[in-house]
Amino acid sequence: MIKSLYSGISGLNANTQQMGVIGDNIANIGTTGYKSTQIAFDSLVNQSSSGYTGTEIGSGVILGSVNYNWSQGTLQQTSNPYDMAITGSGFFAVKDSSGKMYYTRDGGFKFDASGNLVTAAGNIVQGFDMTGAQKPINIDPKTYTSVTVDNSGTYYGVDSSGAKKALFQIAIYKPTDQSKMAKMTGNLYTDTSTATGTFNLPGANGVGAVTASSLEMSNVDIAKEFVNMITAQRAFAADSKVIQTSDQILQELMTIKQ
């Protein structure tokens, strides 16, 4: 009878974790470039002293894995000419103030007063200069009066005479193992793989192309999340009933003993 209590408790924990994932997905339905989280569970079977015999009764459920849904989000056109969206795989590469590299699907960019192309949090976007050298995208506002960008991810400086010069092309990061990309606060990812990925031009080496003046929306499927919520709620109620019934039987056994 104790086994059923532990199984019921493990089910409550599992469905509480499921509700946490569902709540996080729904909360981020408006987050630019957000990739929904999926959770999977495994059965729990305890080995007897004589090893596995094929007659074991399960002991509940445990968390199996947490994965991200990397499917493409829809693109939304914006009024900011420096916004950018990736169509396909890959990530924008950005560096924080300490020089640490992070990755993001959020292409909400702007130029700061120093001419750096930055995210909303001030992280500097990485690219290639026209010689192919990888470096932060910086366009001197004293030399160029304005900046334009096209759908190849190329940034052009326009001087006071109206002359236009290609200066940078945005870099797209391709991890060696996308499942090793871990979410962080601020719509960022860090690559936890031991093998470093590659930095590529848009559309090259299997990475996605880019679209200027656009942002990728969250890929959360709200209808699916509501269905998952109902399923988790029903399962939680059923696990609660298992615990309640097990407790009632234990009380009966105690009464018989008395």
Question: Per residue in 232-241, pLDDT tens?
Answer: 999 889 888 8
- pLDDT score, position 52: 66
CA angle 97, 178, 181 (to 5 degrees): 40
194 and 144 both lie in a single domain: yes
Residue with the larger pLDDT of the pair 16 and 47? 16
How many domains is the chain built from? Answer: 2
Same domain for 129 and 205, yes or no, is yes
pLDDT of residue 57 exceeding 80, the answer is no
User: In this predicted structure, what is the pLDDT of residue 145?
Assistant: 94
User: Are 111 and 118 spatial neighbours (Cβ–Cβ below 8 Å)?
Assistant: yes
User: Is the alpha carbon torsion for 47, 48, 54, 55 positive or negative?
Assistant: negative
Can you give the pTM of this predicted structure?
A: 0.86
Report the C-alpha gap between 85 and 32 in whole angstroms.
10
Are both 83 and 174 inside the same structural domain? yes
Domain span at 234? 2-71+219-257
Question: What pLDDT does residue 239 have?
Answer: 84
Pair (85, 118) in one structural domain: yes
